[in-house]
């Protein structure tokens, strides 16, 4: 089997963020229930990736919740305006 990539070639980034930039990784300590950890390892679950995916999902949800909370008045005002005046392009909609 031939190597197709020499050691001097630049390594591919481990992961890219949403904007396409290299995502920096940082080591951290996490306390996990021993039984769950053993089950996850036995099943071959990548703990780092699973945690990262879940944190990404939860931070996105929290940012959305906070945005809606902070802009509640503007959102309600916009909805009242639409209820009162309708959507200007309503007659052009085919659905």
Q: What is the pLDDT of residue 6?
A: 52
Identify the DSSP state of 22: B
Q: Specify the pLDDT at position 57.
A: 97
Q: Rounded to the nearest 5°, which phi and psi values hold at 6?
A: -80, 160
User: What local confidence, expressed as pLDDT, does residue 11 receive?
Assistant: 54
**Residue found under tokens 């963020």:** 17
What is the pLDDT at residue 1? 44
Each residue's pLDDT expressed in tens, for the chain with a length of 95 residues: 444 555 555 555 556 666 667 778 888 899 999 999 999 999 999 999 999 999 999 999 999 999 999 999 999 999 999 999 988 888 887 87
Work out the widest C-alpha separation in the chain, in whole angstroms: 71
């Amino acid at each position: 089997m031939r190597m197709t990539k020499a050691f001097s070639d630049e390594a591919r980034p481990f992961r890219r963020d949403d904007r396409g930039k290299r995502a920096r990784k940082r080591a951290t300590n996490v306390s996990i229930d021993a039984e769950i950890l053993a089950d996850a390892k036995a099943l071959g679950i990548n703990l780092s990736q699973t945690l990262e995916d879940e944190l990404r999902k939860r931070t996105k949800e929290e940012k959305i919740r906070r945005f809606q909370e902070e802009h509640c008045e503007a959102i309600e005002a916009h909805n009242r305006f639409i209820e009162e005046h309708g959507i200007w392009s309503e007659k052009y909609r085919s659905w």
